[in-house]
Amino acid sequence: MAVVAFINSGEVTPEYSRASDDELLVAAGSSDSRAFAELCRRHARTIQKKVFGMLKNREDAEDVVQDAICSAFVHLQCFRGTCAFSTWLTRIAINSALMLMRKRRSRSEVPYDHRTDEDPEWQIREFPDRAPNPEQIYVKRRAIECMSVAVNHLSPRYRDLVQQFHGAEQSLQETAEKLGIKVGAAKSRLLRARLKIRSRLERQRISFSDACH
């Protein structure tokens, strides 16, 4: 992704480096990818340290942060400003890290090298690369982009609910209070919104699960 590549390049444009987070956020909201890159650059190292503390693996932490930046870029219009951008980005990264940790626990772990009683020599086991290939990465990103478009095509009563619940990561109770409706009504609207999104994605032959996970 161009934004991640720009962050990793180490380039800093002077006018962006002098801008405040709020100014960069406004520019990023107007499709200024360099402003978004500078905004993420300021917080990426702190977030990566937090994620590394969870995963204990530097490469995994780097991947999680990059995935979080990609997700934030695609869903930037969902950010409502109810918290600091850095807090929002941190939540996305932590959620990704937790998901990776759950995947780790679901797989049985065996050592890469071992030796048997019959053979005193160390044996090195080879494991298939489980990392997504370029085609899988493309499919995932396209699914996320289509999901974003599908959300934007919802009527305001559904779109605002989805953006508050998923984008701002609020609870159903908080979302209902924010929109001035009852929790039952919020739950009903959320279900209908998801059905509408799923229907639109299916017409584009996009898997709903690919867009959500």
More confident residue, 73 or 6: 73
Is-contact 194 202, C-beta < 8 A?
A: no
pLDDT of residue 107: 60
- Largest CA-CA distance found in the chain, in angstroms, rounded: 71
More confident residue, 23 or 138: 23
Q: At residue 162, does pLDDT exceed 80?
A: yes
Q: CA-to-CA distance for 85 and 28, rounded, in angstroms? A: 12
Q: CA-to-CA distance for 151 and 146, rounded, in angstroms? A: 9
Distances (CA, A) of 134 to 127, 138, 153, 190, 206: 19, 6, 29, 33, 17
More confident residue, 17 or 131: 17
Residues forming a β-bridge with 124? 113
Q: Output the 3-class SS for 1-14.
A: CHHHHHHHHCCCCH
Q: At residue 33, does pLDDT exceed 90?
A: no
pTM equals: 0.49
Write down the domain spans for the chain: 134-213
Taking alpha carbons only, the member of 208, 91, 100 closest to residue 147 is 208
- 65-79, 93-107, 128-142, range with the lowest pLDDT: 128-142
pLDDT of residue 164: 80
The counts of H helices and E strands in the chain are: 11, 2
Taking alpha carbons only, the member of 42, 12, 28, 151 closest to residue 81 is 28
Instruction: Please provide the CATH number assigned to the domain covering 134-213.
Output: 1.10.10.10
pLDDT of residue 18: 85
Number of other CB atoms surrounding residue 212 within 10 Å: 14
Mean pLDDT of the chain: 78
pLDDT of residue 88: 92
Is-contact 112 121, C-beta < 8 A?
A: no
Q: What is the band of 135 on the pLDDT scale with cuts at 50, 70, 90?
A: low
Q: At residue 6, does pLDDT exceed 80?
A: no
